[in-house]
Chain A
């Protein structure tokens, strides 16, 4: 399965549009058979990267390779790569059968009829073969687009925001479906999306892109638990970032001063140099306890918090806790039913396990990667 010969490799790939640097010296390897997600906000260069792999955009510099074959300057129709386009781009004048058979017929495959019917079955559209795309629902059109690309048995399947046009419920369903098909046929999927949840649900490896660069690459869990930049910390989920001074960098525990209170961070999770840093903790890793109760021995503790907002959202309760230095921290508590809720104005201490915090470079913008209202469709 791990056939090294068919890995997709991008070597120092760069794309400029006039003065705008869309993709900046990108190097990465997508292992054969993996589900790889390029995640980032709009304009981060992820779609341009995908289009360069597909051959729809010429790189300014750099190379695209599949195994040892350099496909950088191959015309799109000569590449062993197929694309599921953002808006599906189904041929409106052709039937579903003709759409799915399109690639096979262009390559002169003889038994295209049987293969096409098999593919239509695989994407669960039997009985729709003679319809036109406009007669299908969004989810069905999405399946046609997928079948039309997959039938060519590409070395790499590119998916450009394939679920963007579907409503939330259908999107969840298709995410599971896509993952199932990918596992079944073991084709390399490169999936471009701005939806972090979608990327985390499906991908084996996520590359988070920002301003044409890869901020961080890794398994979804690693990226989420141990982000290396404020952008990743905010773009994947939510984070509390607190400005701290680094006091002691002993081998097994880094001690930082957080507005006068000392807390520890594991060295493997420290990605900061110099005296200052951002201390990051995910809201669900924080625990709010009544002031002075000292419930969690061995934890880091920040005292002097006061509840300023309580949102009950069913599975959890989301608190905003104002700290003595004026910052409000998010604390998510799972609704286990074992603890009573705090109320506005309650005094609390905040605790967390040292292994759950991470330390980020102080030169970065603490708000980088946060969702602004216009980002959320």
Chain B
């Protein structure tokens, strides 16, 4: 349609090439809505955030903020809050490992052993999403409260001293993280375990693998894409979470998210909040990059 008579090709081949190129061009158009959305709501705010992080930190809501290219903001942020970063990564790391340990057998059972209950069990995994994240975490306050059933049970069996408590401890915060991010671990694990051809497991048995060796050599390696995406989907949001620390912990258990939230909303210290956000983002991206490289699953993701 676009080619004028002057460009009329001498042979038939370039016409075909032009056609395919045109078709590919249309394919790219499908990306436009998503790209636009990301540009407006992700790329632009991130750039904005980057500039905000370089504002003069002495600015305030009343006096306004001056752009002074204050790279020192980053140093200050790291100096004052490095322990929050360490805590965030530790909590998120522990929560991710526990999610994996709990979620893998669950996903395995749903994929291979649930028979006709498969869909029902999957709905149960997703069911928590029918209630708000906030409400569910508030409910955990009741469950873990000092007079609550869990605390008294643990006290009875002697796993917790009589004056010991769960609420307002790291255990409560991590337990909340585990609970809230469990589906993000279970579903990708299920998706990749469900794709594992059971005949491969039979073949491993036929080739002298005990059930455990068969799992180690065949099922687990084939489920690695699920392990990688599950751990990423758990670890990344858990690092930035502040609701669990806020509702189930005390300032002693606060994570980076809490500091960012208070810097933004309470102290109006936008430069600090922005630089903390960007540091968190960068560190997480770096960790993910190293992790995916180590897992050797780039081609599987």
The chain A residues found within 8 Å of chain B, CB to CB, are 54-56, 75-77, 81-83, 85, 87, 89-93, 102-103, 106-107, 148-149, 152
Besides the known contacts A56-B205, A92-B222, A152-B208, 15 further A-B residue pairs in the complex with CB atoms under 8 A apart: A56-B202, A76-B202, A76-B206, A77-B206, A82-B207, A83-B203, A87-B197, A87-B199, A89-B197, A91-B204, A93-B222, A102-B207, A102-B209, A106-B207, A148-B207
A89 with B202, Cβ < 8 A, contacts A77-B210, A106-B213 known: yes
Query: Interface centre among A82, A102, A149, by most B CB within 10 Å?
Result: A102
List B236-292 residues whose CB lies under 8 Å from chain A.
Answer: none
What are some 23 contacts across the A-B interface (CB < 8 A)?
A55-B205, A55-B206, A56-B202, A56-B205, A56-B206, A77-B206, A77-B208, A85-B199, A85-B202, A89-B199, A89-B202, A91-B203, A91-B218, A92-B200, A92-B222, A93-B221, A103-B208, A106-B209, A107-B208, A148-B207, A149-B207, A152-B207, A152-B208
- Nearest-Cβ distance from residue B158 to partner chain A, whole angstroms: 42
A148 to B199, CA, bound (A): 15
Q: Closest residue of chain B to A108, judged by CB? A: B208
Cross-chain contact A85 with B209 (CB below 8 angstroms) = no
Instruction: Determine the chain A residues whose CB is within 8 A of the CB of B205 once the complex forms.
Output: 55-56, 75-77
Across-interface contacts of B202 in A (CB, < 8 A): 56, 76, 85, 89
Task: Report A-chain residues with C-beta under 8 Å of the C-beta of B206.
Answer: 54-56, 76-77, 81-83, 85, 149
For A92, the closest partner residue in chain B by CB is B222
Docked Cα-Cα span, A78 to B214, in Å, equals: 13
A90 partner residues in chain B, CB cutoff 8 A: 203
> Please, which residues of chain B bring their CB within 8 A of the CB of A56?
202, 205-206
Q: What are the residues of chain A within 8 A of B210 when measuring CB–CB?
A: 75, 77
Q: How far is the CB of B296 from chain A (nearest CB, A)?
A: 11
Provide the residues of chain B in CB contact with A106, threshold 8 Å: 207-209, 213, 217
CA gap between A117 and B96 in the complex, in Å:
42
Q: Is A77 within 8 A of B221, CB to CB?
A: no
A-B pairs with beta carbons under 8 A, tally: 60
A114 to B221, CA, bound (A): 26
Those of B157-210 within 8 Å (CB) of chain A:
197, 199-200, 202-210
Distance to closest chain B CB from A71 (angstroms):
13
Q: How far is the CA of A77 from the CA of B205 in the complex (A)?
A: 5
Q: How far is the CA of A23 from the CA of B194 in the complex (A)?
A: 30
Q: Complex Cα distance A287/B93, Å?
A: 84
Size bin of chain B's contact surface = 10 to 19
Q: How far is the CA of A106 from the CA of B205 in the complex (A)?
A: 10
User: Separation in Å of the A218 CB from the closest CB of chain B?
Assistant: 29
Listed residue (B203, B205, B222) with the most chain A CB atoms within 10 angstroms of its CB: B203
B218 to chain A, nearest CB (A): 6
Shortest Cβ gap from A4 to chain B (Å):
26
B134 to nearest A CB, angstroms? 41
Closest residue to A107 on the B side, CB-wise? Answer: B208
Measured between beta carbons, the chain B residues less than 8 angstroms from A83 are 203, 206
The distance in angstroms between the C-alpha atoms of A299 and B222, with both chains bound, is: 67
Closest Cβ of chain A: how far from B126's Cβ, in Å? 29
Q: Which residue of A is nearest B224, CB measured?
A: A93
Known A-B contacts A77-B208, A77-B209; A85 and B222 likewise in contact (beta carbons under 8 Å):
no
Chain A residues whose C-beta falls within 8 Å of the C-beta of B217 in the assembled complex:
102, 106
- Say how far B96's CB is from chain A's closest CB, in angstroms: 23
Residue of A nearest to B197 (CB): A89
Q: How far is the CA of A210 from the CA of B221 in the complex (A)?
A: 40
Least CB distance, B201 to chain A, in whole angstroms: 9
Complex: A93 Cα to B296 Cα, angstroms: 12
Interface pair B209/A89, CB less than 8 Å apart:
no
- Ranked nearest first, the 5 interchain pairs of A and B with the lowest CB-CB distance are A103-B207, A89-B203, A106-B208, A76-B205, A89-B199
Instruction: Write the chain A residue with the least CB distance to B201.
Output: A89
* Interface hits, B7-38 → A, CB 8 Å: none
Q: Which residues of B contact A92 (CB under 8 A)?
A: 200, 222
B211 CB, nearest partner CB in chain A, Å: 8
Instruction: For the complex, give the distance between the alpha carbons of A106 and B207 in Å.
Output: 8
Interface residues of B in 59-83 (CB under 8 A from A): none
* Complex-state Cα separation, A55 to B204, whole angstroms: 12
Complex contacts, A107 vs chain B, CB 8 Å: 208
A107 to B207, CA, bound (A): 9
| B197 proximity list for chain A (CB < 8 A) | 87, 89
Judge whether A89 and B208 touch: CB under 8 Å. no
Q: Looking across the interface, which residue of chain A has its beta carbon closest to that of B222?
A: A93
A189 to chain B, nearest CB (A): 15
Determine the chain A residues whose CB is within 8 A of the CB of B209 once the complex forms.
Answer: 77, 102, 106
A149 to B206, CA, bound (A): 9
Query: Are A91 and B200 in touch, CB under 8 angstroms?
Result: yes
Which chain A residue shows the least CB distance to B300?
Answer: A93
Minimal Cβ-Cβ distance residue in B for A158: B206
- Bound form: Cα–Cα A290–B84 in Å: 104
Tell me the complex Cα distance, A186–B210, Å.
28
Query: Looking at the complex, which one of A81, A89, A152 makes contact with B200 (CB distance below 8 Å)?
Result: A89
Q: Please indicate the chain B residues that have their CB under 8 angstroms from the CB of A91 in the complex.
A: 200, 203-204, 218
Complex alpha-carbon distance, A87 and B206, angstroms: 15
A55: B residues at CB distance < 8 A = 205-206
Alpha-carbon distance between A171 and B205 when the two chains are bound, in angstroms? 27
CB distance from B132 to the nearest CB of A (A): 40
In the bound assembly, the distance between CA atoms of A255 and B233 in angstroms comes to 83
Q: Which of chain A's residues have a CB closer than 8 A to the CB of B199? A: 85, 87, 89
Chain B neighbourhood of A103, CB < 8 A? 207-208
List residues of chain B with CB within 8 A of the CB of A77. 205-210, 214
CB of A135, distance to nearest CB on chain B (Å): 13
Nearest CB of A to B193, in Å? 14
A154 to chain B, nearest CB (A): 9
